[in-house]
Structure 1
Amino acid sequence: MVAERPDTSPQSSDDAADDGEITGRRTRPRAGSSADEAFSVETVVTEERGRWVVDIIVVFADGVVRKRIDSHPTKARAELSARMIKRAAERDIRGPRNG
């Protein structure tokens, strides 16, 4: 016997407009998070066990967070990924980037 699922769209969210149009999903910081207070972001490419890895470093008022993003077979591909990740992360940082 198969349980019936409610008739919902996989794209539905609580951000949908009243007329059924989807306005897009928004990310929200967790309660107690300092996500809105990021000062800078950097990406680092290093070689590790024959592969090139991309780490992101985010500086907050209360500390620094470093996370591994992915590993790539070539340095060129890792550097391309690092540039794209950094540009996307910089969009969310408020204030002047260079001072």
Structure 2
Amino acid sequence: MTTAETTTTAPDARAERRAKRIAKHLSDFAARHGGSADVVVEYVGAAATRIVLVGADGAWGDQVAPSYPIGRRAAELAGLTLHDSFEGELGLKVKTGPYEWKRMAGIQI
């Protein structure tokens, strides 16, 4: 393997390892919340991407990935349903509890 080949494959291998590590967390979330989850991958900024999960039971959570491609790859590896945006039907699946309502009310005050 030449130096050029090593340089081009090393970042891809590193990104794949990161995606696999994040996929494990996503799979664990899905297993704890009904066995499946819907996912939306959203840009946060230049150095981060947010993966928003909605479990089959309506619980929600998030995970941060270092890039959009790694976030999407993690969701694919976890075998979760990937959505382009967090709208409509997906938003209706989210169940909020007293904690969220109290926290939202506190922000407005």
- Shorter-chain TM-score tier: 0.3 to 0.5
Structure showing greater Rg: 1
TM, length-normalised to structure 2: 0.37
Identify, as 1 or 2, the structure richer in helix. 2
TM, length-normalised to structure 1: 0.40
Identify, as 1 or 2, the structure richer in strand. 1
